Amino acid sequence: MAVTTRDARLISTRFPRASGYHPEWVLAGASGGANPLWLTEWLTEKLDLRPGMRVLDLGCGRAMSSIFLHREFGVQVWATDLWFSADENRQRIDDAGMSDGVFPLHAEARSLPFASGFFDAIVCIDSYLYYGTDDLALNAIVRLLKPGGVLAIAGAGLMQEIDGAVPDALRDWWEPGMWCLHSAAWWRRHWEKTGLVTVEVADDMPDGWQAWLDWQRVSCPENTVELQAIEADQGRTMGYVRAIARLRPEARLEAPITSISMEYKRQPVLREVIQNG
């Protein structure tokens, strides 16, 4: 009988939980420039997730992180995304045998159909940068947390803010939309200034640029511009960052404004012209 050699792609001693998932399944569900399971495993190292907790996986892409969270920690997950189909995600969730604890939903991050205080944790994998840099975003999102609940994000970011021109190593790859990338220190300041949360973790992944390359070489080897940029940068500017914040029990959260009610009263549009004798 022939011996089948185990597919070694995406096996990493740094991410033992994620290494147990079949590479074809992971690659088929890829929806961005990072391995969602690696980032989720790294993020959850600093989270106390327990069976039965309610978790919002915001910007879940193709629900890979949602399936991982339910399978590894037994939490209930609402897999929510704007760009990817909830119907497709439901099929992926069903095929993974996770339909009893992962619930797909199509929604926009600034208009989420959940009651205040519904979730124990909100997790965002390589997605928060697309909607969370707005000064008003934090209130809109953490109002869904129970008092003491956590918001946890991980994804592409900067090792330090770029002050001036884009570094030469990144110039051919950089585009205007990438200015949404920020450092862990920036996220700490961005959240702490609101007074709504206590930031417990804000750091970057050691040698995260190398994990970035390892993923890209398997998932998108033809993307030479990005590969060359990350390799040339050597982690001086680019890598992976994470931030975890806990909602303050005394936080004063504002309810979202969905409409402003008023009674219309007709008024003259123009001043009357007074004729002098």
Domain ranges for the chain, please list them: 18-247
Q: Contact at 8 Å (CB) between 59 and 81?
A: yes
pLDDT at 6: 63
Q: How far apart are CA 268 and CA 266, in angstroms?
A: 7
From start to end of 73-196, where are the E strands? 76-81, 102-106, 119-125, 145-158
pLDDT at 12: 94
State both tokens at 222: 């033809």
From start to end of 59-139, where are the E strands? 76-81, 102-106, 119-125
Q: How far apart are CA 90 and CA 99, in angstroms?
A: 8
Q: Contact at 8 Å (CB) between 128 and 63?
A: no
pLDDT at 183: 98
pLDDT digits (tens, 9 = 90+) for 35-63: 999 999 999 999 999 999 999 999 999 99
Question: What is the arrangement of strands in the sheet containing 54-58, beginning at the earlier edge strand?
Answer: 102-106, 76-81, 54-58, 119-125, 145-158, 238-247, 197-204
pLDDT at 30: 87
Classified as helix, coil or strand, 183 is strand
Q: Contact at 8 Å (CB) between 40 and 52?
A: no
Rg (CA), the chain: 22
Instruction: Look up the pTM and report it.
Output: 0.91
pLDDT at 276: 67
Which of 159, 199, 196, 163 lies closest to 181 in space, CA to CA? 159
From the candidate CATH numbers 3.40.50.300, 1.10.540.10, 3.40.50.150, 3.40.430.10, the one assigned to the domain spanning 18-247: 3.40.50.150
Q: How far apart are CA 192 and CA 110, in angstroms?
A: 20
Q: Contact at 8 Å (CB) between 63 and 36?
A: no
pLDDT at 123: 98
A 10 A CB-CB count for 52 gives 11
Q: For residue 101, give Cα distances in angstroms to 97, 98, 147, 210.
A: 9, 6, 23, 33
Written as one letter, the residue type at 22 is H
Classified as helix, coil or strand, 243 is strand
pLDDT at 1: 39
Instruction: Report CA dihedral (242, 233, 33, 54) to the nearest 10 degrees.
Output: 0
Per-block mean pLDDT, blocks of 10 residues, the chain (277 long): 64 96 94 92 98 98 97 98 96 97 95 94 97 94 96 98 96 96 98 97 97 95 96 97 96 77 87 72
pLDDT at 193: 96
pLDDT at 33: 82
Q: Contact at 8 Å (CB) between 150 and 50?
A: no
